[in-house]
Amino acid sequence: MIPRETVDKILDSAQIADVVGDFVSLKRQGANFIACCPFHNEKTPSFYVSPAKGIFKCFGCGKSGTTVGFVMEHENLSYVDALKFLAKKYHIEVVEKEETAEEIAQRQRGESLLLVSEFAAKFFKDCLNTDDGRVGYAYFKTRGLEDETIEKFGLGWAPADRSALLKAAKTAGYKEEFLVDTGLCYRRDDGTAVVRFYDRAMFPIHSPGGRIIAFGGRTLKSDKTVAKYVNSPETEIYVKSHSLYGIWFARNEIVRQDRCILVEGYLDVISMHQLGIRNVVASSGTSLTVDQIRLIKKYSQNVTIIYDGDSAGIKAALRGINLVLKEGLNVKVVLLPDGDDPDSFSRKHTLDEVRTFLEKHEQDFIGFKSDILLDEAGNDPLKKANLINDVADTIAMIPDPVKRSVYAESCSERFNISSQILFDRIKSSRKDMLIAEKRQEETLRRREELASELESRGEDSRARRLLPADTPAMKEVVSLDDPFLAPCEKELLGFIVEHGRTPMEFDRDSDFFVEDGQPDTVAEFIDNALAADDVAFANNAYRKVYDCYFSMYDEGLAQEQIQTRLLNNPDPDIAAVASDILIDKYLLTVENYRNSLTSVATQLIIFVPKSIYAYQVRRLDKMMQELTASLAETQTAEEQMSIMTKMNMLNKARTKINKKLGRV
C-alpha cells in the first residue's frame, strides 16, 4: 500500500492539463481546454479539461474523472499503478507499506511481460558492443546513424547464438513462460522454448507511454530464403494494428506542431528524427489501420503521408487517404522521387532542403489522386469518369459536411464538371456507406446479444469468439438499484458533496430558523432530515458515497479534501458517482444555475429543503404505486379497506408536502 501522505502529495502535484496533454492535443478554450476524446471516436471535440478543478469530462461518451482516473483509463492501469505512474512523472518517491505475498505475486504478474521486454531490449543493446554485434553496429553506421541516435532508439543486436537470450533471462530470474508470452521465444512441437530473434539488427517498439512492447529484427544476409524482417507476434501487451513505431519519441512534437508525418519503416522514422524532423511515426510495414489513425488523432487532427514514389508506395498512400479522411482528420500526401524513401531522402539532403521539399510537394487528396489517376486515364473519357467518381466517393467519406462541400467545389473546378453532379454522387455514396455501417452495427448487435446469451449459459469461450477484440464494454456509470428514487437521491447527494460544509443560515421567519447555537451545515441538515424519517438511500452506489463522505466529514476534513478523496477513491463506484456529480457541463462552462444572480448560500436555503420535500413526495409516490399494485391482488373487502385507508393517509401527507413545495 502507498501511505496516505504520499498519495496526497501525488494528487497535489499532478496537474490535469499537464498529464492529459501528454496523451491528447489540448486547445485552450477560456479557462479550460478542449480536445477530441481519447476514449471514443468522435469528429467534433467534446472532451473538456478544467485545470482549476483538476477534472476532465467527455460529453460524448460520458467518461470523466481526475488525473488518476484519466491515467487508469488511458493506460489501463490499476489505481495503485496509476499513482505510481504519476509519482514517476513528478519525481515523487513511493515507499510502500509491506505487501502480502498475494499482493506481490499479483503485482509482479501484471508487470512481468513488460519487464521481460525491457530486459530483452537491454540485452540486445548490450550485444551491439560485443564482437558478434559489431556487424550490427557497422550496419547502423552505414545507414548514417549517429551513436546518439542508436542510443536514443535503443537499437541493438540479437546474437547468432539462439540460446544466449534464454540463458541470460533465466540467469536474471525471468521465467521461460514470460519469454514465450512476449513473443521473444516460441515453443516447438516438443514443448522446447526457442528464441525467435537471432543474428539480426534489432528495433525495439515502444508504447505511447514509453514501455517496450515488441521488437522488429532485420537480417543483414543477402540470402533470399531468409525473411528480411521478423517481428514480434501479437501478445497481451502488443497489438500491431494499434501500435505506431516512434510514437513515444514523436508525440510531444506532434502536439507542438499539430501535425503528424506518417511513413512506412523503422529507418524512415529514425533517419528523419536524426535530421531534425521529429513529428514522425511509422505504420511498421503493415497497412495503415483505423486504430493507428485514432492513435494519431489523440495528438493531432493533421496527417501528412510520406510514402515511396514507386507503385507500391502510391497504392499504400491511396489506401491510407480514405481511412484518414473517414476518421475526420485532415490529410496531405507527399510522394518522394522514384527510388527514394524517407530514409534515403533525408540522408541525401539537409534539414532545410527536406522541409522545403515537403512544403512544395505537399498535396491534398484531390490533387494527389487526380495527378496519379489522370496519367492512367489518358484521353479515355470512361476512365476519366471513373476517376471523378473515385474522387467523389473519397469526398463522401469525410464526416464534416462543410469540408465535404469545400472539397466538392474544388473537385468541380479541377475537372470542369457541374458541382451539382458531384453533390448528387457524394450524397448517393454517403447513403450507401451509412447503410453498410448500419448493417455492420446490426450484425455486431446481434452477435453481442448471442454472446450475452452464451455467457449466461456459462459458454464464455464461445461468447468471446463472437465479438471482435476491440469491442468496447459499454456500461452505465453506476448500476442503480432503484431508478425511481435515483434523481432525488442524486440531487441530495450533490448538495452534500458540493456544499456539505456550507452553513444553512435561514431567516427568522423560516420554519428552519435556529434560535440558539450554530446553524446546521448542508450535510448535517440533510442527514438530520433523513434520520427523522428513518430513511437511507435506496441506491447502493449513492449510499456508499454518502457513508464515505460522512466518515471523512466526521474526521474534520475540509470540503475540498473530501471531494478529492471521493474523486480518487479506489472503489470505482464511489469515484464514478463523485465524478458524475462534480464533473458536469455546468462546471466546465462559464456559468451554472448555482452561480447565477443570487449567492450560493441563498440558493442553498431555497433548494435544499425543496429537494428534501421532493424526495419525500417521491417516496410517497412509490408507496402509493406499491399499494395500488397490492390492491389489485387482494381477495377480501377487509384487506381492500385497510389498503385504501393507508393510501388515503399517504395522499394527505403528499398534499401537505406539495403545498410546501408550492405545487397545486
pLDDT digits (tens, 9 = 90+) for 542-560: 998 998 998 888 778 888 8
Contact between residue 368 and residue 322 where contact means Cβ atoms under 8 Å apart: no
What is the rounded CA–CA span in Å between residue 289 and residue 322? 11
Own/partner pairs, 542-548, CB within 8 angstroms, 24+ separation = 542/486, 542/489, 542/490, 542/493, 542/577, 544/571, 544/573, 544/574, 544/577, 545/493, 545/497, 545/573, 545/574, 545/577, 545/578, 546/493, 546/496, 548/574
Q: Model confidence at 517, in pLDDT bands (50, 70, 90)?
A: low
pLDDT, the chain, mean:
82
pLDDT reading at 97 higher than 70: no
What is the rounded CA–CA span in Å between residue 565 and residue 427? 52
Q: What is the mean pLDDT of residues 439-458?
A: 64
Q: Model confidence at 299, in pLDDT bands (50, 70, 90)?
A: confident
pLDDT digits (tens, 9 = 90+) for 406-447: 888 888 888 888 889 888 988 888 888 788 777 766 666 666
pLDDT digits (tens, 9 = 90+) for 201-210: 999 999 887 8
pLDDT digits (tens, 9 = 90+) for 322-368: 888 888 888 898 888 877 889 999 999 999 999 999 999 898 888 88
Who contacts 12 (Cβ-Cβ below 8 Å, separation ≥6)?
none
Going by C-alpha positions, the residue among 200, 191, 226, 227 that lies closest to residue 120 is 200
H or E stretch at 158: strand 156-158
Between 178 and 315, residue with greater pLDDT: 178
Phi, psi (deg, nearest 5) at residue 263 = -125, -170
pLDDT digits (tens, 9 = 90+) for 23-82: 888 888 877 889 999 888 887 888 988 886 788 888 888 888 889 989 988 887 888 888
Indicate the pTM of the whole model: 0.57
Report pLDDT for 459: 60
Q: Please report, as a single letter, which amino acid is at residue 116.
A: V
3-state secondary structure of 450: helix
H or E stretch at 644: helix 637-660
Report pLDDT for 466: 46
What is the rounded CA–CA span in Å between residue 232 and residue 242? 14
- Tell me the CA end-to-end span of the chain in Å, nearest whole number: 56
Between 315 and 409, residue with greater pLDDT: 409
pLDDT digits (tens, 9 = 90+) for 122-142: 999 999 999 999 999 999 999
Between 588 and 439, residue with greater pLDDT: 439
Contact between residue 136 and residue 159 where contact means Cβ atoms under 8 Å apart: no
pLDDT digits (tens, 9 = 90+) for 149-182: 999 999 999 999 989 999 999 999 998 999 999 9
The domains found in the chain, sorted by start residue, are 4-89 (3.90.580.10), 111-238 (3.90.980.10), 247-430 (3.40.1360.10), 486-660 (no CATH)
